A and B are shown apart, each in its own frame.
Chain A
């Protein structure tokens, strides 16, 4: 158990084909650049973890495949955040999902990487609030 000593997640990354276009998109979400900023890749603050945008060239692959496993971004109010993003031209392919414990609104970045606006509203099993 835990003999590797995993301390934390330093960053989560998504592949991008156009670093400038991707940067513009993530900055439109209101994210700030992190200290790991570089000319070769970009890093943004997502609260508790950094998001790294990795150009496809750096991944050493010829064929581009987006990340289809979503990153769940917590916002105070999913409906409100969705409206803001829709007004800015972001498309949401489905209605916001009410899972019974949280609201989920899936969307994609310009490269097709999966994201979701997420807010749990139900208390956890121990009674604490999300």
Chain B
């Protein structure tokens, strides 16, 4: 089987207008498509699809592991989001190669501000 790429990753929502405010205004992601029960945002090179499962009679469940968004500076981005009322799960983690700050969208889907600072094994910079 040949895997070419990821066309989209998705999160479920119970409230499309609330999700739109969060992703478009709070996180500042560009809207790719917009419909009553489904919206697509550009998360860099990947499309993030936000879908209301009740529109097809399916149950809602938040994504437990989530999507890591690369930002230039995790501390600065975290401060901006906290100023907008976003709550983070614990302190920012320094793994030894990257900074990670975990937070949730209004539906409880897991997201992360992420920045690798260590070079890769082959010497390339992240």
Interface residues of A (CB under 8 A from B): 1-15, 29-31, 35, 46-49, 52, 54, 59, 61, 65-76, 81, 84-85, 118, 120
Contact = CB atoms under 8 A, between A and B. Distances in A.
Q: Interface majority SS on A: helix, strand, loop or mixed?
A: loop
Most A Cβ at <10 Å: residue of B11, B69, B81: B69
Given A47-B6, A66-B64, A75-B2, 14 more contacts: A2-B29, A3-B80, A4-B71, A4-B113, A5-B73, A8-B70, A12-B6, A13-B65, A29-B3, A49-B6, A68-B63, A71-B8, A76-B4, A84-B1
Nearest to B30: A2
Nearest to A1: B28
A9 B4 contact: no
A73 B10 contact: no
A9 B44 contact: yes
Interface string B55-82: 0000101011111111111000100110
A48 B49 CA distance: 16
Contact of B70 (A6, A30, A59, A67): A6
Given A6-B28, A15-B65, A31 B3 contact: yes
